[in-house]
Amino acid sequence: MLQAIMPIKDKMFRYAYRILGNQMAAEDVVQEVFIKVWSKKKEIQNIENKEAWCMTVTRNLALDKLRKKKYHHESVEDHFSLADTSMTPLESVQSNDTMSMIRSAINALPKDQRNVVHLRDVEGYSYKEIAEISGLTIEKVKVYLHRARISLRKQLSTIER
């Protein structure tokens, strides 16, 4: 059973981190999901979309943790680097500025739109899977994604290409 879940552990971490903004708390949530999977392994065998179930559990545990305690949000730059070693210093600064603008624009979105954008554009889930994970209808997912993309397009139209 865990072999089926292990390939999505990074997705679960990114999703929990997106909600909590804290690396250690996100790692704890992923561990809790694995414990829940292990303790309910017989029941999970009957679940058709195990990935969507795991992502839903991840969301619920992360939201529970967020409600219980406010976490200090860490900078995303501390945990991964998008810099390419072949870039010049100027290109690197421009790239960092662009990424900063994109992050700011995404963070300015309403919570539901931000989550839908993350699940669709970062994690690559289908509308149906996002609906299952988030508890929204497919129509709401499409509306939130459409509105978020319009808002992002407006906010990011100042970036030079």
Q: How confident is the model at residue 160 (pLDDT cuts 50, 70, 90)?
A: low
CB 127 within 8 A of CB 138: yes
End-to-end CA distance of the chain: 46
Please give the Cα distance from 135 to 142 (Å, whole number): 13
How far is the CA of 123 from the CAs of 45, 61, 160, in angstroms? Answer: 24, 19, 26
Q: To the nearest whole percent, how much of the chain has pLDDT over 90?
A: 31
In sign, the C-alpha dihedral spanning 104, 134, 48, 62 is positive
Walk me through the domains of the chain, giving residue ranges and CATH numbers. 2-68 (1.10.1740.10), 91-156 (1.10.10.10)
Residue 147, C-beta contacts closer than 8 angstroms, at least 6 positions apart? 113
Q: Please tell me the predicted confidence (pLDDT) of residue 84.
A: 47
Please tell me the predicted confidence (pLDDT) of residue 105. 85
Is pLDDT above 70 for 59?
yes
The answer to whether the pTM exceeds 0.85 is no
Rounded to whole angstroms, the Cα distance separating 122 from 23 reads 18
Say how far apart CA 106 and CA 7 lie, in whole Å. 26
pLDDT tens-digit map of 46-56: 888 888 888 99
Interval 88-113: pLDDT, tens: 666 666 667 777 888 888 888 999 99
* pLDDT, mean over the chain: 82
Distance CA(117)–CA(122), nearest Å, equals: 7
pLDDT of residue 28: 92
Instruction: Please write the tens of the pLDDT for every residue from 66-93.
Output: 888 754 555 555 555 544 456 666 666 6
Residue 159: is its pLDDT beyond 70? no
Asked if residue 93 lies in contact with residue 82, where contact means CB atoms within 8 angstroms, the answer is no
